[in-house]
């Protein structure tokens, strides 16, 4: 039963047996209808609140008169504001900051390996495990923020529990996931560059070009190092035969 019907029914019951009140009932009904039209808003929830306010706050005084008070509620805008603030998370800013921090963190080590490969500072720096611990913690942090209940489903989307390109593409559409993958690559690339650098020192092989390629093209840098190592060994054997 609508608010209007309930009010009309109540008026008829409360004035039953009083013919003189019939005209007043119709009058009140018209007042209520016009007031309800005036108070009507575009939002359904606000209509429900306004209708309930009109029904709860009417009273009869001086015969049959409906008193309508406008009830202004501050709960709805407060709730909207709270929902906006609660749903706003600076995930994009976190991903961007960690992305920049990780990139800046590895550059000094590459700079030392390329421009001062024989320096003691470079040797000690590349023997340290601190950069890999820092990158590992950054990666774990981003992995925690980017993890969702669907992550494993996207990683192992096939029926054989193997990764599929479409699932990986959906997973890396998130900035947070992409930033974690970038930190992962930085750690692996730096580790490979360190191995190339140390192997070059041990075998007295030029590694600056290979280390530079490891920064952005790690597999190519590794292959370049093996090619350089093979060429250097062949040249050393030729020199040895000549002597």
3-state secondary structure string across 28-66:
HHHHHHHHHHHHCCCCHHHHHHHHHHHHHHCCCCCCCCC
User: Picking from 70-74, 105-109, 203-207, 224-228, which range would have the lowest pLDDT averaged per residue?
Assistant: 70-74
pLDDT over threshold 80, residue 133: yes
Structure tokens at 167: 């699932």
Looking at the fold, whether 58 and 178 belong to one and the same domain comes out as: no
Identify the domain boundary among 49, 84, 119. Answer: 84
Same domain, 71 and 164: no
pLDDT at residue 105 tops 90: yes
**Same domain as 68, residue 123:** no
User: How far, in Å, CA of 97 to CA of 183, rounded?
Assistant: 12
Q: Which of 54, 84, 114 is the last residue of a domain?
A: 84
Q: Residue 113 and residue 109: Cα distance in Å, rounded?
A: 6
The pTM of this model reads 0.61
pLDDT beyond 60 at 179? yes
Are 74 and 103 in a shared domain?
no
Within this chain, do residues 80 and 121 fall inside the same structural domain, yes or no? no
- Tell me the per-residue pLDDT of 181-231, one tens digit each, with 9 for 90 and over: 999 999 999 999 999 999 999 999 999 999 999 999 999 999 999 999 999
- Domain residues for the domain of 38 are 3-84
Identify the CA nearest to 106 among candidates 80, 82, 138, 79: 138
Taking alpha carbons only, the member of 107, 108, 96, 28 closest to residue 68 is 28
CA distance 216 to 190: 10
| Higher per-residue confidence, 148 vs 51 | 148
pLDDT in tens, 18-45: 444 444 444 444 554 454 444 444 444 4
- Give residue 74's pLDDT band: very low, low, confident or very high (50, 70, 90): very low
């Amino acid at each position: 039963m609508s608010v209007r019907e309930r009010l009309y029914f109540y008026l008829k019951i409360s004035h039953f047996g009083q013919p003189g009140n019939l005209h007043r009932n119709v009058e009140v009904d018209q007042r209520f209808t016009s007031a309800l039209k005036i108070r009507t808003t575009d939002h359904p929830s606000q209509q429900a609140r306004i209708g309930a306010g009109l029904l709860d706050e009417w009273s009869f005084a001086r015969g049959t008169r409906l008193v309508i008070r406008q009830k202004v509620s501050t709960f709805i805008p407060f709730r909207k504001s709270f929902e906006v603030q609660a749903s706003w998370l600076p995930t994009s800013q976190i991903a961007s900051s960690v992305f920049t921090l990780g990139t800046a963190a590895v550059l000094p080590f590459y700079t030392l390996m390329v421009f001062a490969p024989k320096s003691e500072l470079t040797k000690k720096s590349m023997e340290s495990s601190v950069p890999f611990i820092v990158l590992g913690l950054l990666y774990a942090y981003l992995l925690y923020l980017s993890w969702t209940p669907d992550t494993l489903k996207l990683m192992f989307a096939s029926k054989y529990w193997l990764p599929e390109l479409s699932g990986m593409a959906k997973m890396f559409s998130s900035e947070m996931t992409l930033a974690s993958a970038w930190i992962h690559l930085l750690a692996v690339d730096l580790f490979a560059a360190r191995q190339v650098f140390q192997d070059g020192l041990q075998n007295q092989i030029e590694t600056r070009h290979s280390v530079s390629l490891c920064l952005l093209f790690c597999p190519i840098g590794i292959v370049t190092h093996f090619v350089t190592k093979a060429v250097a060994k062949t040249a050393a054997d030729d020199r040895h035969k000549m002597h």
